[in-house]
Structure 1
Amino acid sequence: MADPNLSEYVKTSLAQGKPKEEIYKELLGQGWTIEVIQESFNSIGTEQEKEDTSKKTISIIVTIGAIFVGAGIFSFIAANWLEMTKPIKIGIILISMGVSYGAGWYLKEKSELQKTGDALILLGSIIYGAGIFLVAQMFNIRANWPDGFILWMIGMIAMAFAVESYPLFYLAIPLGIIALVGHPFGIFTGFGYNSFLLTSSFLLLVSTIITFVTGWIIRKRMSPELKEFY
C-alpha cells in the first residue's frame, strides 16, 4: 500500500508542474526506493481514473437531462401551438433560449457547477435550433430544409467558441452531416438560375469553410499528445 504522505507529496508536485523525473530524483535523494515511489504514482493514477470516470458519468447524466428538459418544453409548446399568437410563440422561444444560455453561462463561469452550466448551454442550443424551424413554419418561409440545420450548426459553433463548450462542437458534427446528406442534388444542377438554390449553395459553401476553419483552430489548440492520437 502506498504511503499516504508520499502520495500527497507526489500529487502536489505534479499539480505544481514538476516533471516525473525531477520528483523521482528528489524522493530518491530523500531515501525512498524506486518501488515505493512508483507505487505512489500508480495510486495517484488510479484515483485520477476514478475521478475522470465520475466526471464523465455526471456529464452524460446532465446532458441527457438537458435533452429531456428540451423535449418537455417543446412538447408543451406543440400541445398549445395552435392557440398561441405569433408574438407569444416567438417570445417563448427567445425567453427560453436566453434563460438557458444566461443560466448556463453563469453556472459555468461564476460557480463550480460547470457540467450543469454546459448542460444548460446545450439546452439553449437545442432551443435555438428548434426555433429556426418553428419560425420558418410560422412565417411560411420558403427554404431548403437542410439550410435550417446549417444555420443551427453555424450558431452552435459560434456559441461553442464563445463559451468554450466542447459538447456543442460534438453536437454540431451530426447537424452538419444531416445538412450535407439532406441537400438535394438540385442545388448543383440548378445553380445560378434559381435564387432559392443559389442561397442553399451559398450556405453550403459557408458552412464548409466554417467547418474547416473550426477544425483547424481546435487542432491548433490541442496538446501534442492529442494531435498524435487524432
Structure 2
Amino acid sequence: MSRLSWLMKETKRWVSGRIITGDQAEQIIGLYPAEHKNRLISVLLLLGAILLGTGIILFFASNWQHIPKWGKVSIVIIPLVLFHLAAHLTCESYPRLSQTLTLLGCVMFGSGIWLVAQIFHINTHFPNGMLFWLLGVLSVALILREELPLGLSALLMASWVLAEQSSSLLIMFIAMMLFGGVFYLTYTLRSSFALVVSLISVCIFVNTEIYLILADNYSFKDAGSLIPFVLLLIGSSYIYMSKHPVNELLKNFPFIYKFLGVVLTGASLFTMSLEFFAYDFIKMRQSGAGYVLFWVLYITVAFLGAYAISRRSTKIKEVLKGNYTWLAVDALVFIMLLIPFNGLTLMIILNLFMFIWALLVIISAYQTQSSLYFILGMVAFNLYVLAEYFNFFWKSLPKSLFFIAGGIVLVLSGALMERQRRKAVLAWQKEVVSSYKIVK
C-alpha cells in the first residue's frame, strides 16, 4: 500500500468517526500529490535488463568459437550502439525504459572490453579491464545524470578494489578520487539507490585496503579477523554522517546512513564477541601490526562525530541525551586501543557490551518513538541471547533437550518482542493524544 492510499483510507475512517469533515479530508489529501513512481515497473525493468544482458552474454559465449573475428567485433559494437540509441529515443516518452536500456548499454560496454581482449589475444593486467569499465560507466552517469549507471559505477568500484588486491598509495589515491566523483553525483542526483551501493562499496574498499596493509606490509596472518573492528568504526561514522547537516535536507539520506550504521554496528559487535576476535586482537596489539593505523581511524571517526554533533548542539546534556548509544561505542573502541587486556577479559567485556548496546538502541528508539529501530534493537538483543545460549549449552546439554529448550527460548523471545512492541506503540499513541489535548 502506498502512502497516499494509506492516507485516503485513514481519512475515510476519520470522517466516519466524525474526527474531521469531508472537506477537511479532501484538503489533507490535496497536500500530498499522487505518486507517479511505480516501483514494481522499475524492479521488473531492472530484472529484465539483468536477465537480458546475462542471456546475450551466455548465448554468444556458447557459440563463440564458430563466429569469425569481424562477427565478434560486430557483436560487441552493434548492441552497444543500439542500446544507447534506443535509450536516447525513448528518454522522453518512456524514461524508465530509457534508463534500463542505458544500463544494458553499460553492461554491454563491460562485456565488450573482455570480448575484444579475447578476440585479439590482448594479455594485460586483469583489473585494468574493470577500471576501464568503471571509467566508461561513470562517464555515462556524469553525462546523462542517471542513477542506474551511477549505482553500477559504485558496484564496479568495489569489484575493481577486490580484483586489484593492492595496498599501493597510487591505487588508494585513484580509488578515493573515483569515490569522490561517485559521491558527488550521488548527492547531485539525490539518489538513494546510488547512496546505498556507494556506502557498501566504501565498506569493501576500506576493509580490503586495511586487510592488505596488515597482511602484506606487516605480515599479520590473522588480518581478516580484525575486519569486524573496522566495520564497527565504519558503522559509527555512518551514524555520525546521518546527523550531518548536509544530509538533513536530502530525502532518505539520514535514514540510509543510520540504518546501515546500526546494522553494521550490531553485526560487528556480535562477531567481536566470538572467541577468535579477542585473541587475534591481542596478537595485533602485541605485534604492533597496524596499531597506529587503528588509532588514526578511531581519531578520524571521533572528529567526524564531534563535528556532526556540534553542528546540532554544543550543550553537553543535549549531546549525551541524543548520542549516548554511539558515544558508548566510541568509548569501547578507545578502551580497547588504550588498555592491554588479556584475551579472556576482552572477550567478557565484548560479550557484556553487546547486550548493553542492544539495550541502549531499544531505549533510544523508545525515547524517539522509532518503531523500526525499536524492533532492530529487540531483534539484536534476542539474537545475542540465542548466540550465548548456543555457546554455553551446545556441548553441555543432550541434543534433544538442547533443541527443545532452544525452541522455547525462540518462542518466548518472539512473544516478548511482540508484547514490548505493542506496549511501546500504545505508549506513543497515548503521548500523541495527550499532547493533542494540551495544544487544544
Counterpart Cα distance in 2 of 1:218 and 1:47: 25
Unaligned runs of at least 5 residues, structure 1: 1-6, 8-33, 192-200
Q: Which runs of 5+ in 2 are unaligned?
A: 1-7, 9-19, 191-246, 258-440
- Does residue 211 (structure 1) correspond to residue 179 (structure 2)? The answer is yes
Partner of 1:95: 78
**1:19 paired residue number:** none
The Cα of 1:214 is off from its aligned counterpart by 3.4
CA apart distance, 1:150: 1.5
Contact 1:104 1:120 in 2 (8 A): yes
Q: How many angstroms apart in 2 are the aligned matches of 1:102 and 1:65?
A: 18
Q: Describe how 1:10-49 pairs up with structure 2 within 5 A.
A: 39-40=25-26, 42-44=28-30, 48-49=34-35
Root mean square deviation, CA, Å: 3.0
- Percent of counterpart pairs with the same letter? 24
Q: Which residue pairs with 2:132 in the alignment?
A: 151
Say whether residues 1:60 and 2:43 are aligned partners: yes
Q: Tell me by how many angstroms 1:146 deviates.
A: 1.9
Cα distance between partner residues in 1 of 2:124 and 2:147: 30
Deviation at 1:43, TM superposition (A): 2.9
CA contact (8 A) 1:105 1:163 kept: no
Instruction: Name the aligned partner's letter for residue 250 of structure 2.
Output: E
Letter in 2 for 1:90: V
Query: Are residues 151 and 97 of structure 1, via their aligned partners in 2, closer, same or farther at CA, if it must alter by over 3 Å?
Result: same
CA-CA distance at 1:205 after TM superposition: 4.4
Ranked by relative contact order (alpha carbons within 8 Å, sequence separation 6 or more), the top structure is 1
Q: Give the Å deviation of 1:41.
A: 5.0
- 1:105 counterpart residue number: 88
- Which residue number corresponds to residue 164 of structure 1? 145
Instruction: Give, as a single letter, the amino acid of the residue that structure 2 aligns with 1:146.
Output: P
Give the TM-score normalised by structure 2: 0.37
- Cα contact 2:145–2:189 (8 A) shared by 1: no
Q: For the Cα contact (< 8 Å) 1:100–1:120, is it kept in 2?
A: yes
User: Which is further off, 206-215 or 165-174?
Assistant: 206-215
Deviation per CA, 1:98-137: give whole Å up to 9, x if none: 000100111014xx21111111111111100111111122
**Aligned partner (choices 235, 238, 250) of residue 225 of structure 1:** 250
Question: Aligned pair 1:124/2:105, yes or no?
Answer: yes
The aligned amino acid for 1:225 is: L
Deviation per CA, 1:124-164: give whole Å up to 9, x if none: 11100111111122222222222212211111111112222
CA distance in 1, matches of 2:160, 2:27: 47
Q: Is the 8 A contact 1:128 1:152 kept in 2?
A: yes
Which secondary structure state, in structure 1, belongs to the residue aligned with residue 64 of structure 2? coil
In the alignment, the residues of structure 1 paired with residue 27 and residue 127 of structure 2 have an alpha-carbon distance, to the nearest angstrom, of 51
Q: Does the 8 Å CA contact 2:150/2:182 hold for their aligned counterparts?
A: no
- Helix, strand or coil: the match of 1:108? coil
Name the CA shift for 1:220/1:163 in 2 (closer, same or farther; >3 Å): closer
Question: Paired residue for 1:180?
Answer: 161
- Separation of aligned partners in 1, 2:30 and 2:67: 57
Shift of 1:180: 0.5
**CA separation in 2, counterparts of 1:37 and 1:210?**
53
Q: Helix, strand or coil: the match of 1:225?
A: coil
* Partners of 1:40 and 1:132 in 2: CA distance: 56
Change (3 A) 1:205 1:45: same
Tell me by how many angstroms 1:207 deviates. 4.8
Distance 1:42 1:151, change over 3 A: farther
Q: Give the SS at the match of 2:139.
A: helix
> Which residue of 1 is the match for residue 117 of structure 2?
136
Partner of 1:22: none
Structure 2 partner of 1:27: none
Q: Deviation per CA, 1:39-88, whole angstroms, max 9, x where unpaired?
A: 23543577735x43xx2211110111111111221122112210112221
Residue identity in the other structure for 2:159: I
Residue 57 to residue 76, structure 1, CA distance change in 2 (3 Å) = same
Query: Per the alignment, do residues 162 and 38 of structure 1 end up closer, same or farther by CA in structure 2, a change over 3 Å counting?
Result: farther
1:159 is paired with a residue whose SS is helix
Over 3 Å counting, the alpha-carbon distance change for 1:58 and 1:220 in structure 2 is closer
CA distance in 1, matches of 2:55, 2:69: 20
Residue 86 (1) aligns with residue 65 (2):
no
Superposition TM-score, scaled by structure 1 size? 0.67
For the residue of structure 2 that corresponds to 1:82, the secondary structure is: helix
2:250 alignment partner, SS class: helix
